[in-house]
Each structure stands twice: as C-alpha cells, then as structure tokens.
Amino acid sequence: MIPKTGQELIDYLNKHIIDNTLMTTLAIKFVKAEDKELTAQMPVNSAVHQPMGLLHGGATAALAESVGSTASHLFVDPKQFEVRGIELSINHLRSKKSGLIYATAKPIHIGRTTHLWEIVITDEQDKLIAHAKLTNIVLKK
C-alpha cells in the first residue's frame, strides 16, 4: 500500500516512481508531501539548460507534469485506475542559471474522471520561476 503523506510517502515515491524515467534523467526527486500537496525539486545545471545557458522551459514543464501527475495517482486506487496528463499550460516568468527549483502541486479540482492541478515553481529564495496548470484524466484499467 502507498503511504498517503509524510516522509514514508516521499521515500516510496523516490524509490518506486522515479527509476528509469525522464525524472531520473532530469534528477527530479520528491521532497515534501502534506495536506494534498506534493513538492519535487530539480537541479538547474547544464543538463537542463537551453543554448543560452538558462533553464529550458521544456525541463520546467517536465518537472510540473511529473509532480502533478504523481499527485493525481495518490487520489486513485492504482489497482483500478490510471492517470494520464491531457493538458499542460505553463507560464515561464523568471530565468534561472543554476541552483534548485521546486514544483508544488495543489489540487484545484479532484473529480471522478478529471483532476486539475495548480503547480507553482519557485527557486531556493521562493522567487516565482513558473506557474502551471495540469489537467489529468482518470481512466479505468
């Protein structure tokens, strides 16, 4: 059974969800889970830069979708349902050259067939880097 919050959930996600995925490639890891919110971090370095030496918007979008999709999985029975992202909208507001960014997914709507998430991406100084909305569909297996 998947733990619902706290360090046990973080440990579970980092051990069972990330391996052999894009999240491994981007060095994304989960760092906080509480009160229907899930937070992941990603280092900003040359692996996620665009040619101008800044954080690539696609890497930011991958972080946002990763945390929002994983958060949706926590609201469904994994034996009966699967979650798929169907729309991601993201505004890139501030550039970043190095350090860490954090994406926190908060539910706007958790319905039977759709989930809508607000994902706020900030840096170590809590400066807003990007803002995203993710819609997930819940499908029967």
Active site residue 65: yes
Q: Which amino acid is at 103?
A: A
Catalytic residue (one of 8, 37, 65, 118): 65
Beta carbons of 128 and 75 less than 8 angstroms apart: no
- Residue 102 to residue 120: CA distance in whole angstroms: 8
The DSSP line for 58-78 is HHHHHHHHHHHHHHHHTTS-T
Catalytic residues, by residue number, are 65
